[in-house]
């Protein structure tokens, strides 16, 4: 297997460690609520304080996602979003930003339908840095994980509260970029995680890997982000940003003048929360 090149991700987490702070990983659904608004949101995230961007690939059956992200996927699909258009969004972003890592997050079905090898080649060419594919377990690494790493993409794996000591090494075996710790049992955005339990879990994962650990699922406020930033290398916020889109749409589900601003303003607040927790969390 060839070397996996995760230069942008590695560089970003190294910079965060030098700064002595956790990173902010923002999740938005590509194409939600429409292509132009979605591109404007994506392009505005780094200046607002996003250190890493997860870009959701909409899918009709997002089984790991809660109501907010499910609704975002359906809005995006209704607006005509496709894998091709998602990759085009990354290309447009890369024309302005060569440094901020972008990770595509989603499910295997759209990738399989697109054609695995074609998808990997096009993703690398577009400027994608990694993948999170939530419905492919480590037992299926030959299907996508190993080819993705061969192509130069990080393959980021989820660890959960139900991942025990025996399972963890299996989960981590071919993981690269960072480890995404799911802080609650269940789907995205539906419960509030307990900072003490999360801290213990992060310490447990770090005993098995040198990769950075990002904590997500259920983080909605700057205060929550700050709490997790004290122990994790990064904090992931998704459902709250997607809800900010939904809350600003008009009665016909279309974007308003407030839509992009609402997401960007929330990212700024979250980034400030994480900055306030500057305690050498990433050291």
Say whether 135 is catalytic.
no
Three-state DSSP at 188 gives coil
Burial of 101 (0-12, 13-18, 19+ CB in 10 A): buried
Q: Which position among 54, 122, 129, 233 bears the catalytic label?
A: 54
Angstrom distance (rounded) from CA 132 to CA 45: 19
Query: Hunting for tokens 């799911």 — which residue is that?
Result: 182
Contact residues for 49 (Cβ-Cβ < 8 A; gap 6+): 24, 267, 268, 270, 271, 272, 274
Q: Which position among 10, 65, 141, 233 bears the catalytic label?
A: 65
Angstrom distance (rounded) from CA 114 to CA 129: 18
Tokens encoding 112: 């399989």
Three-state DSSP at 21 gives coil
Nearest to 234 by CA among 163, 282, 182: 282
Say whether 54 is catalytic.
yes
Cα 85 to chain center, whole Å? 18
Nearest to 208 by CA among 159, 140, 242: 159
Query: Hunting for tokens 């990173």 — which residue is that?
Result: 23
Catalytic center residues: 54, 65
């Amino acid at each position: 297997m060839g070397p996996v090149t995760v230069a942008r991700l590695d560089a970003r987490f190294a910079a965060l460690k030098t700064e002595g702070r956790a990173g902010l990983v923002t999740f938005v659904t590509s194409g939600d609520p429409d292509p132009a608004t979605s591109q404007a949101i994506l392009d505005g995230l780094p200046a607002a304080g996003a250190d890493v961007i997860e870009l959701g690939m909409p899918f009709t059956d997002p089984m790991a996602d809660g109501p907010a992200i499910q609704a975002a996927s359906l809005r995006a699909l209704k607006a005509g979003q496709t894998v091709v258009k998602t990759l085009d969004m990354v290309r447009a972003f890369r024309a302005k930003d060569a440094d901020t890592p972008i990770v595509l997050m989603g499910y295997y079905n759209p990738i399989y339908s697109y054609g695995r090898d074609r998808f990997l080649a096009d993703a690398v060419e577009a400027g994608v840095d990694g993948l999170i594919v939530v419905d492919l377990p480590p037992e299926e690494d030959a299907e996508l994980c190993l080819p993705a790493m061969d192509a130069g993409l990080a393959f980021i794996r989820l660890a959960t509260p139900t991942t025990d000591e025996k399972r963890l090494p299996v989960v981590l075996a071919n993981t690269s970029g960072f480890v995404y710790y799911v802080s609650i049992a269940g789907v995205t955005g539906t419960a509030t995680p307990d900072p003490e339990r999360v801290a213990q879990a992060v310490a447990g994962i770090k005993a098995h890997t040198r990769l950075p650990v990002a904590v997500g699922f259920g983080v909605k406020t700057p205060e929550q982000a700050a709490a997790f930033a004290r122990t994790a290398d990064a904090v992931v916020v998704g459902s709250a940003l997607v809800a900010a889109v939904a809350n600003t749409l008009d009665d016909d589900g279309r974007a308003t003048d407030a839509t992009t601003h609402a997401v960007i303003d929330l990212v700024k607040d979250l980034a400030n929360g994480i900055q306030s927790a500057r305690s050498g969390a990433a050291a």
